[in-house]
Amino acid sequence: MATNPEIERRRTFAIVAHPDAGKTSLTEKFLLFGGQIQVAGAVKSNKIKKTATSDWMDIEKQRGISVTTSVMEFDYKDYKVNILDTPGHQDFAEDTYRTLTAVDSVIIVVDGAKGVETQTRKLMEVCRMRNTPVIIFVNKMDREAKDPFDLMDELEEELVIQVRPLTWPIESGPRFKGVYNLYEHNLNLFQPSKQVVTEKVEVDITTEELDQRIGRDLADKLRGELELIEGVYPEFNVDEYLKGETAPVFFGSALNNFGVEELLNTFVEIAPSPRPVQAEERVVMPDEPRFTGFIFKITANIDPNHRSCIAFCKVCSGKFSRNVPYYHVRHDKTMRFSSPTQFMAQRKTTVDEAWAGDIIGLPDNGTFKIGDTLTEGEHLHFRGLPSFSPEMFKYIENADPMKQKQLAKGIDQLMDEGVAQLFVNQFNGRKIIGTVGQLQFEVIQYRLEHEYNAKCRWEPVSLYKACWIESDDPAELDAFKKRKYQYMAKDREGRDVFLADSGYVLQMAQMDFKHIKFHFTSEF
């Protein structure tokens, strides 16, 4: 079977990390190398009035954090690179987990001083579940960092994966001299510069030139460390990386644009092209001639002048063409798309075609839900896009009676995005919003006001967990609903949800009603 060169040259990956490890800075530097931007916006600095390219919501610019995954694509050498920059903050973890279903590989950014943090561990678990290949970038080497050998041990232990350094740092902090590239056998000397790309110096490490460049002591230390690395770590094996068993490690400073090019060059060379995707019915191969794809994310108001939603579709196989009718499996009808787009954060361009591995934006006026499948007529269902059971709840109330319609529309669109979940209490008819983290309430309130011109206010409600319930015994289900009628709600699909107000109540309910199944994700 001939492989398609268009699909072979695609590299689709996500950048993930704990908050503030430097994901967005790294994304920007990639775009700099891809020729997409000329000056990277220092994410935190107020002197440079450019904010990060990938953070386009007002709230992201104000806080200097990413709250939604952004998609960017660029050409680099002979490759077409699709980056998904994800939020690191745990309150937006759900967005990140969903994004990981749409990528073929992952770059994990670790702060050299802090090492592995909780969010990094969780994200690694999601990668392990899917055997996603992982590359690790140890960032902020221009600040004081942990000993590189200790860092390697910590990565191996905490992320439960074999590691192999492909670049090695010479000191850190103010003494940071650069990195030695073990993959290409050359030395890159560090010159701090946030705005432009620094030059490389090629040095043979066996000669005295190395001593002149970085001093005799550091040169001897580097030679000793490199010998130790060759002794301790097995040769880097690309197949083991592709199976998700080994993670290559790079050192550098994303802010100062150092060590990033080595990472990018090695990445495009070894990272996988689009991989087969498991649907419920069968495995879908990327080079099949017929188009299939699924929606993994919906974003409202990328362009505030047009109140439109965009559904992000990951192309799993074949080729997507503009204006061709495709089959929407859940609605059981065909649809055409006259203006599919590709992204550079919020700059979008209309595309005529896209291949497996690409991420395209489809204009959405309420036709899509997260997890929807598009095909050329085949009945397929892609799974693995969970909505987790929320752990924080508040009543949402209209703060401006004149804006009832705007509020309803805003809530609807934001819930479609999967930002949070909406439950309607069957007892008093009030709307309850459930989220995974506190910060999401602020984001919802902010976006309702600024994007939909609707004001809301929150009222406390004391609940422990939402669980979806179903049963083969209608009488028992009925009895349960009667007994718990104050705590019964419906979700947007009209499914029954039990809002337990404490762990004890939930446990007792599970013991008393043996034939009722309690689900903690909405995927069942």
Q: Could you tell me which of 497, 396, 494 has the C-alpha nearest to residue 440? A: 396
Helix axes 148-159, 118-129, angle to 10 degrees: 50
Determine the Cα angle at 61 with ends 299 and 92, to 5°. Answer: 50
Is a pLDDT exceeding 60 seen at residue 456? yes
Q: Which CATH architecture has domain 5-169+235-270?
A: 3-Layer(aba) Sandwich (3.40)
Tokens of 445: 């309130």
Q: Mind listing the pLDDT tens digit for each residue in 236-246? A: 888 999 888 89
The alpha carbon dihedral of 332, 334, 337, 338 has a sign of negative
Pairwise CA distance, residues 140 & 312, whole Å: 32
> Domain 392-519 belongs to what topology?
Alpha-Beta Plaits (3.30.70)
Check pLDDT > 90 for residue 181.
no
- Each domain of the chain, given as residue ranges in start order, spans 5-169+235-270, 277-375, 392-519
Q: Which of 306, 295, 308, 311 is nearest to 343 (CA)?
A: 311
Q: Who contacts 51 (Cβ-Cβ below 8 Å, separation ≥6)? A: 41, 43, 60, 61
Are residues 361 and 306 in contact, defined by beta-carbon separation less than 8 angstroms?
no
Tens of pLDDT, residues 129-166: 778 899 999 998 888 888 889 999 999 998 888 999 98
Which CATH number describes the domain made up of 277-375?
A: 3.40.50.300
With a cut of 70, say whether residue 188 has pLDDT above it.
Answer: yes
Query: What does the pLDDT read at residue 136?
Result: 93
The sign of the torsion formed by the CA atoms of 345, 128, 92, 396 equals positive
Average pLDDT over residues 37-60: 45
Same fold, 277-375 and 392-519: no
If pLDDT is split at 50, 70 and 90, which confidence band does 87 have? low
For 231, the enclosing helix (H) or strand (E) is helix 216-232
**How far is Cα 167 from Cα 187, in angstroms, rounded to an integer?**
9
